Structure 1
Amino acid sequence: MQPKSVPEGRGGDGGERRGGEGEKTGGGGERGEWEEGGGGGESGKWRRRRREEEEKEEGRGGGGNKRIQIVRPLKDSAIREFGLILQNFDWSSVYKAENTNDKCDNFYSALLPLIDEYFPLVVVKGHDNDKPWITTKIKALIALQQAFPAGSNRWKELRNKINRLIKKAKSEFYVGRVRRMKGSNPSQWHRNIKSMAGTKPKPPVIKDEGINESDTTRTAKMINRFFVSIAEDISRLDLTDLPAYLPSLPLPTIQPWDVYQELQHLSRRKAPGPNCGPARIISEFALELSHPLKAIFNESIRELVVPHSWKRAIVLPIPKTTNPTIEDLRPVSLTYHFTKILEKFIAKWLVGDIGNAIDKYSNRKGHSTAHYLIDILNTIHQNADKAKTVSTLHGGYRLQQSLRQDRSWASC
């Protein structure tokens, strides 16, 4: 019987090789080493390569491109050490600064090096088609296993450990996802289903004149120029044109406990802005950070100046259509945590000052046209109980349009 040939590239010399004696045993080696036939001395090398590819496919799902992700691990031991330093930290450089920008710059020049020291950035290499349950620990063990000869005792120990970790990771991932889906809203439920199925949406392709899909740098500059051009026709606000209402009230003062409350309620899942610390660190040490931030907030309000660093943002162009052009992109900005906290204080003061002069149902959190309808019906019923009273409803067209809008949103 003529033995089967090994495909080109699988032999040691890259050419066609014939199996030795014994087609089933693979030429004196381990039984079933090569499904194609024998292989002599090259059988161990091919077996290792095949097992390595199977292990990679188990974690990656095959195909795809490499992906590099920069993360900042937050170890419990590092958090404790960071807290000890922050408790006794000297913020005198922030308090003694003369203006808002200097205070803010001194604050970041003191805080960010500490964050980089105790929570350094780590580069994690991944794959576009990685399984959702795969972890960096499993990948590291697979790489370590490949360094040992196949079939050795250490190789077998690592193989068994990897199999146990993969089984545990799969179980915890899917059980945890199903548990969270029970209490999630429909959008999160749909997102979890797609994640469990391993499906990922393809990034939209922006089609416009002068845009080359391969030249991402030029595309980003064109998108940036378009976003900047939107507000070019708006002139800078001249404070002298604003009316003066005398006697003027004293400026409100932010207290450290107010800042502490806002920092403590900061969502730890929020992504940080440009060159900013993780939300978990900010929330964890809200008490220690409240005093220097209080000084920056009050100085900013007194000078009517927003720090230059807080004007920066990471802008994400989100398409509004399926095949978007540049004009169909909507900018979503990722700003600093501290900027949003200062905006909360100012918005709270403004609403408290003009709350009685604005519509209590429009552009207000927790209110909609349903509350407006209930208020109208309540007014009509109260007037109906009074003798010799006639109720007239104005603005019917506007109310009808609002109801249609609510109905269209509900049907989406």
Structure 2
Amino acid sequence: MWGSQSVSRVGSAVAYFALIIYLAQTLYPAEGQKAQLALATGAVFILATSLAVILAPITGSIVDRHDRRRVMLLCDTLSGVVTLAVAALMLTTALPLWVLLLYVIVTQTLDITHEAAFETSYAMLLPDEALTRANGMVQTTRTLSYLIGPALATLLIGLPALLARGGGGGWLASLHDGVPFALAVDGLSFLIAAAVLARLHIPSPPPAESHGGAAANVKADTRLGWTYLLRRPPLLHLLVVFAVLNLALAAIPSYQVLLARFTLAPDLEARGLGFTAALAILQTATSAGMFLGGLAISAWGGLRRHKFLGIFVPLGLMGLGLLGVGLSGHLYVTAAALACTVFLMPVATAHSSGIWQAQVPREMQGRVFAVRRLVARFTAPLGMGLISLLATRLPPAPVIAALGVLVALLAALQLLNPAMRRLDDREYLEGLAQMRAGD
């Protein structure tokens, strides 16, 4: 399942990059269309991020009420068919923006639903002690897709023209635009994942009882998810910590641009480097750091006991890393600090996800994880907006340093909190829940 879904994840990264290329080269290629291009790419990003928040309660309700393998199978199949259909349409006409946005809405909805079913399947297949490693493997795949997706998309988009210049390639060389070919590859990757899922046995817990119509189910399920967390304060505190972390780290792409443009300008001038080269160095260091962090936690497998240390020690170090990013005025020191900061992200995330998957009952994970995703992801666009707003009034370096201090202090406070040291103690959490239910 991990291998087939990894192929699909890389295919999705290819499709996203190809879609941006289509906007830039086909719909808005003229010099005077920069505003339209900016609005179009912004609309794609806003749709992708906002849907993850809006649909969280709905997808959580769905995966707890249906067979999770069938949900993933349906999502992969529909995503493949829709993507191949859009690729076929692109061969005959230039698709308007509204069609592309509709495509984003449909495929993102399917992807979010698939993710909810996928994440709640880990604990049905693996013992608790293997969950941290499994989450690390998925983190590695996700980062790898970010690394190779743009390069692979560029290769696929340029392949028809390359074959045409070589005098071969048949029908592929006849394509005037390689974007449909890249989308077709993504569509096939979904169908491959679906074909593998069709032959796998992935158990599902007994479905949750219905409370009436779909809207009533979603409302009741969201209330259940919140009630579950409110009765278990350590899990709620863990969720708040990661919400703050997402607030601080979601704007890393903005950090890179602002630092390369302003903070590092004197150092770049001294080294004879331009903005583009500096930004490429920062982005490469960040991507490599996150990828290596995923490999490290996948190979290590994480802590078997005292998993809270695998969360809050890395988070504290990540805060110090952000502080270093903000204080540094040298390109390579900043790149190293960014790489070290994001290297620790998969380590902390894998331990956290392992705790959630081990502690939450299998039959409730869809609904509880829906609330978890809702809170954690809601702060990511807030972080982007906050950095954008503050950048208009303050230099970026002190803002980044302040966020680093906030993350480090929050992690230190949780390390000193006796309740958080028992995050992986199921009996303790259930005892708290019973006490609060009695109150």
Q: Settle same-fold status: TM greater than 0.5.
A: no
TM-score range, shorter chain: under 0.3
Q: Which structure ranks higher in relative contact order (CA pairs < 8 Å, sequence separation ≥ 6)? A: 2
Hey, which of these two has a bigger chunk of helix by percent?
A: 2
Hey, which of these two has a bigger chunk of strand by percent?
A: 1
Structure ID, larger Rg: 1
TM-score norm. by structure 1 comes to: 0.22
TM-score norm. by structure 2 comes to: 0.21
